[in-house]
Amino acid sequence: MEHYGGKKNTRGAGAGLYITLGAAFLLIALFLAMALFFKITDITVEGPRRYTAQQIIDASGVEPDGSIFFLDASKAQIAIKDALPYIDTVKIARRLPGTVVITVTESVGEAYFSAAGAYWITDAAGRILEKTDAAPTGLTELRGFTAVDPREGKKLDLGAAESVRQSALLDTLSALRDNDMLDLTAFLDVTNLSAVLFEYNGYNVNFGEANEFDTKFRILIDQIFVRYTEKGYGQSFIYQNDNSFRYSP
């Protein structure tokens, strides 16, 4: 039996190798072009009030002359929020050829609580913004709980065993803000979860449980602003189970 042999076709394999090497060189050239010709030449900051633009740039870690294409926007956003507690949201955009725009919104201190021998300012969502040695004025005092390991930039935490109390506190705080009542609320007390207390514009309110916010605030605002405004300081409203508040002079 005869065997017929032949030369292997190396032309196709060689051509494939050249194509692969060419593609690799093209990618390297593209990489170098992006790094060399699209450098960050300008960093613009929009929206800050409390912090300076330079503080935000420094916190971001964004460096001039770095490549705009290789900027890690997510990492920069996290770094800004970790370093600057009052920063609420961060958006980072690229504007070719070399501008980076950092847009921020800042939280507002609206409440405070005491813990670990200090006072801690929070926004209406319970995010801790600042530690102070003296009780701040003009903010709502939060009472009736023990905070666990409070830290600037972190959310107020009462611990796993107090999750219901934490929800009652933060939900009521947010509802007061949403109903434009927080500015005139002196304190919010969640000592008794069946009788959440707050003082609004001199009126003492027993809110009952922290639920049915839309109904309760609608009735409450009607009574305070329409019926009893002239009664003055020290009056009380006590929630009844029939979706009404009892006025107690």
What would the pLDDT profile of 202-218 be if each residue is shown by its tens digit?
Answer: 889 999 999 999 999 99
Residues 240 and 119 in one domain: yes
pTM above threshold 0.85: no
Local confidence band at 33 (pLDDT 50, 70, 90 cut-offs): low
What's the pLDDT score for residue 62?
Answer: 94
Residues 125 and 99 in one domain: no
Q: What tens digit of pLDDT does each residue of 110-119 get?
A: 999 999 999 9
Task: Give the CATH number for residue 180.
Answer: 3.40.50
What's the pLDDT score for residue 23?
Answer: 57
What's the pLDDT score for residue 186?
Answer: 97
Q: Is the pLDDT of residue 232 over 80?
A: no
Q: What tens digit of pLDDT does each residue of 60-74 get?
A: 999 988 888 889 999
The string of DSSP letters for the chain reads ----------HHHHHHHHHHHHHHHHHHHHHHHHHHHSB--EEEEES-SSS-HHHHHHHHT--TTSBSTT--HHHHHHHHHHH-TTEEEEEEEEETTTEEEEEEEE----EEEEETTEEEEE-TT-BEEEEESSPPSSSEEEES---SS--TTSB----GGGHHHHHHHHHHHHHHHHTT-GGGEEEEE-SSTTS-EEEETTEEEE--SS--HHHHHHHHHHIIIIISGGG-TT-EEEEETTTEEEEE-
Residues 192 and 115 in one domain: yes
Mean pLDDT of the chain: 87
Q: Is the pLDDT of residue 91 over 80?
A: yes
Domain ranges, residue 58: 37-106
Contact 140, 112 (CB under 8 A): yes
Local confidence band at 26 (pLDDT 50, 70, 90 cut-offs): low
Residues 187 and 119 in one domain: yes
Q: How many domains does the chain have?
A: 2
